[in-house]
Structure 1
Amino acid sequence: MSKLVINSYEEFEQCVGKELGASDYLKITQDMINTFADATLDHQWIHVDVEKAKKESPYGTTISHGYLNLSILPYLWNQIIEVNNVKLLVNYGIEKLRFNQPVLVDNEVRLRAKLISLTNLRGIAKAEIKVALEIKDNKRTALDATVVFLYHFNK
């Protein structure tokens, strides 16, 4: 899959209202879940206790943390788009975030993105991007949100 390459605010502006693309699939492994649990101190059994999850979880296995799913968005976003001539990129916010479906261990997920608006704030581009974290072979998304980035383009 090829990345969308943007070299200026004007090029970015031409993408408003358009789907920007989808990332490759990423497999969510138990090792990733455990590492995230260690980093966030969230060791709830539904995420990290494989044997208990097999017996007691309604999913029959462990599930990814919702915030782990959220935290991989920048990695997947960078597979979709390359924005050049930027001196600084800032995560500005997340709006309308919904966790729709659990991601089971060993599920594969990918990001799909659409640029819904681009606003010029005195030389800073405020991009609002509708994102969906899709689960392979599942009709429901893991999460939907509008992420907001501030791109500080070089003059």
Structure 2
Amino acid sequence: MRDIATLEELKSLAGQEVATSDWIEVTQEQVNQFADATGDHQWIHVDVERAARELPFGGTVAHGFFTLGLLSRMLGNAISLGQDVKMLLNYGLNRVRFPAPLPVGRRVRGIIVLESVEDIPGGAQLTWEITVECEGTEKPVCVAQFLVRRY
């Protein structure tokens, strides 16, 4: 984990790759739970036998929004933002793309670039670009610009 102790240090890192998250294994159980929570039970995500027969990936694939939901976890296990932080808020997303599917059973990790740090009342808005790599595939499974407010 990379410790970034102060806002000044954070600002000095703008425009740079700052961390890589730990690998996270994506399981069928997690994908099924996500399908239950969202009501998205499309067969490519939850029907293991059919997906093995009909999809070119040899099995089910995770929802794109499941992958997106891992961004906070990736950021949290890769970077610590110091003792003076009272609160971090997910402020939203700008650009999001899913260039490749995420086969269930694979591991993913985030390559984290700090694009910018902007002052806001009471804190700073951080714009992170996170590229989610999938073990064993060439293309990333997600590239997203993730906005976080630091107070």
Amino acid of the structure 1 residue aligned with 2:150 = Y
Instruction: Quote the Cα distance in structure 2 between the aligned partners of 1:105 and 1:10.
Output: 40
Q: What residue identity is the alignment partner of 1:122?
A: P
Tell me which residue corresponds to 1:57. 55
Which TM-score applies when normalising by structure 1? 0.92
Q: 2:60 is paired with a residue of what secondary structure? A: coil
For 2:137 and 2:94, locate their aligned partners in 1 and report how far apart those are by CA, in whole Å: 24
Is 1:36 the counterpart of 2:34 in the alignment? yes
* Percent identity of paired positions between Structure 1 and Structure 2: 35
CA distance in 1, matches of 2:142, 2:68: 8
More strand by share: 1
Q: Aligned Cα RMSD in Å? A: 1.1
Q: Match of 1:74, as an amino acid?
A: S
User: What is the aligned length?
Assistant: 150
Matched residue of 2:57: which SS? coil
The CA deviation at 1:59 is 2.5
SS of alignment partner, residue 14 of structure 2: coil
> Secondary structure in 2 aligned to 1:106?
coil
Measured in 2, the distance between the counterparts of 1:122 and 1:69 equals: 31
Code of the aligned partner of 1:93: G
The whole-number CA distance in structure 2 between the counterparts of 1:138 and 1:50 is 20
Stretches of structure 2 that go unaligned for 5 or more consecutive residues are: none
Give the gaps of 5 or more residues in structure 1: none
Q: Which runs of 4+ in 1 moved over 6 A?
A: none
